[in-house]
Structure 1
């Protein structure tokens, strides 16, 4: 068969351009192309390119079952495999969700990351984790860096409570979920996932009163205005005042264990009213245990001890420390679900989500 572009001799001695048969042209085109385009998938499925792009990116909340089936069948029949770069350009999606935490060395961060991963990984998203060191300036840098990376969404454990800190995210129309931190206001179409700090702290305060304790010594280390320790402190302050109990606040920021031991000896010694010491996060429990040993104080004989502890380490100490434990895995899971809802629907199903704290009984009270 003559090649395209050649001429053929016709009756009478003339020549005309050779045009190959239609079937040959199709076979040649397919062989030359080697890949199928998204436009061809859309044409064969009878839908728009946007619909195919939404299908490929898992954004099918508003797509009918019939349309999903048609698009899926065409993709399967054509063995269509979009490149990740082309898919990102078409959908303006990178399939990456940024996660910003205050302290990457804290067990909270790794457990939160694991909870988020359980939800987003099956949806073909990846996570990019950054740590701010609880520094607002570093937090701003992290936010701007991830926005420039064109991440599909941001999950942030904030160090700043001012809504203006989130303006770059809002202005970039980047989906946002805030976890753990206490903020003055949640931006529109964002979600806020926290543990029930205030109710659980008040319940613990009432329990201590019922057990005969008349003084509560809280041990805290507030490093940011968004710290979850702040509502816990406020809850204890409010509850002790209401119940006629004493409340002593010890903030260890800038102090060593010797200082803490001396303060505990002053406020929880044998001459004090019946006292319970209440560290407000897990790392402070271990500083408190070190200080109690140095002060020569024992629990539950000399004083009571109860603590927030995210990893439940306290149950291995003595007969087990009485604990309040946040469900960080659930916080991460709900944060992951919320960010996907905002990406796919434009808004979360719930704006404010409070995760219950578990009360774990021990023998330290």
Structure 2
């Protein structure tokens, strides 16, 4: 068996070009390279089974062509969709990604940032908690490439990719109102750590109710930890006048609502109309099909990757620019205007 390691010199000899030309090809510097030359090199690499030494190249170029992605909670379908989009763009740009799940714990987030720095990743995309401001500030002072997604930290000058969260709530309230619902509520995960989308969605919800001259009933507005949502729903539906319609602030809150309605034998939409922010994969196969507010995750993930790679390649990042993306209402059967009593 031939165990000889194939080198750039072997590829150059096979393709009848210089080693520097092969190096330029591997680094995608094609400006002065003819198509026939590229084809010969590509064929030589294929025939010889050449595999570049990524570690050696990283040391020479002072880059690992690797970025870190720290998600707040991998259980969110939104997070996995964003990661898929980031990975696709990075792969097309010859970058690799390392995905870390911080579970909304600032301490875990800090450990992952330190680990990724130790692995010399070229930059980080992060769904930030609000408790690591000093760490983010120190990375900023180093001009370390970094992009926030889904959230922003006002004190830290890092650009963020975000949904127009107030608009998302507004679309839901407008749909409920259009279909005749008046007692409208919202439930979402805790805003304890000032998680941007949760705060903004509740603010947008209240503003939308007021704009439609609908009652803002604090008993219908809940922001609690995930394991407390079921208990809050029990209290909400024990009221003399429970809500007729509920907006789920995200996909995990939506699942809690669906489990609650099943357990208590409430029919959607006759007993309760439901709209969820995040277009979950099962929305169109659930019975009834679920009306959702979709986030453009493909565009959001791509934009985050574009911004980070441009920073890695030397472009100075803008001053804490917030890129807002528009939500889309996907009207289905869980909100039809057919109201019935549940008492």
Structure 2 spans left out of the alignment, 5+ residues: 1-6, 10-16, 336-343
CA displacement at 1:303 relative to structure 2: 3.0
| Alignment-derived partner of residue 344 in structure 1 | 313
CA distance in 2, matches of 1:120, 1:348: 18
| Alignment-derived partner of residue 330 in structure 2 | 360
1:97 pairs with 2:61:
no
Alpha-carbon contact 1:54-1:91 (below 8 Å) kept: no
| Alignment-derived partner of residue 175 in structure 2 | 207
Give runs of aligned pairs for residues 27-66 of structure 1, distance below 5 A. Answer: none
| Alignment-derived partner of residue 179 in structure 1 | 149
| Alignment-derived partner of residue 303 in structure 2 | 334
| Alignment-derived partner of residue 259 in structure 2 | 290
1:151 pairs with 2:130:
no
Give runs of aligned pairs for residues 308-327 of structure 1, distance below 5 A. Answer: 308-327=277-296
Give runs of aligned pairs for residues 146-295 of structure 1, distance below 5 A. Answer: 146-160=116-130, 163-185=133-155, 187=157, 190-222=158-190, 224-247=193-216, 248-253=220-225, 255-256=227-228, 259-267=231-239, 271=241, 275-295=244-264
> Which is greater in Rg?
1
Secondary structure, aligned partner of 2:287: coil
TM-score by length of 2: 0.76
CA displacement at 1:163 relative to structure 2: 4.4
Give runs of aligned pairs for residues 75-94 of structure 1, distance below 5 A. Answer: 83-94=53-64
Give runs of aligned pairs for residues 132-151 of structure 1, distance below 5 A. Answer: 132-151=102-121
CA distance in 2, matches of 1:255, 1:142: 25
The number of residue pairs the alignment matches comes to 310
CA displacement at 1:236 relative to structure 2: 0.5
CA distance in 1, matches of 2:159, 2:27: 22
CA distance in 2, matches of 1:157, 1:54: 36
CA distance in 2, matches of 1:364, 1:266: 22
CA distance in 2, matches of 1:117, 1:206: 35
CA displacement at 1:56 relative to structure 2: 5.9
Alpha-carbon contact 1:262-1:295 (below 8 Å) kept: no
After superposition, give the CA deviation of every residue in 1:123-173 in whole Å (9 maximum; x if it has no partner).
221111112121111111211221222211111011127643412322332
CA distance in 2, matches of 1:111, 1:55: 33
Alpha-carbon contact 1:100-1:130 (below 8 Å) kept: yes
CA distance in 2, matches of 1:203, 1:161: 31
Alpha-carbon contact 2:164-2:325 (below 8 Å) kept: yes
Secondary structure, aligned partner of 1:266: coil
CA distance in 2, matches of 1:175, 1:101: 17
CA distance in 1, matches of 2:313, 2:126: 19
Secondary structure, aligned partner of 2:313: helix
After superposition, give the CA deviation of every residue in 1:53-83 in whole Å (9 maximum; x if it has no partner).
998656x7xxxx85677xx98x969999974
CA distance in 2, matches of 1:281, 1:112: 15
Alpha-carbon contact 1:219-1:251 (below 8 Å) kept: yes
Structure 1 spans left out of the alignment, 5+ residues: 1-33, 37-43
Secondary structure, aligned partner of 1:277: strand
TM-score by length of 1: 0.72
Indicate the structure whose relative CO is greater, using CA pairs within 8 Å and at least 6 residues apart. Answer: 2
| Alignment-derived partner of residue 111 in structure 1 | 81
Q: What RMSD in Å do the two structures reach over aligned CA positions?
A: 3.5
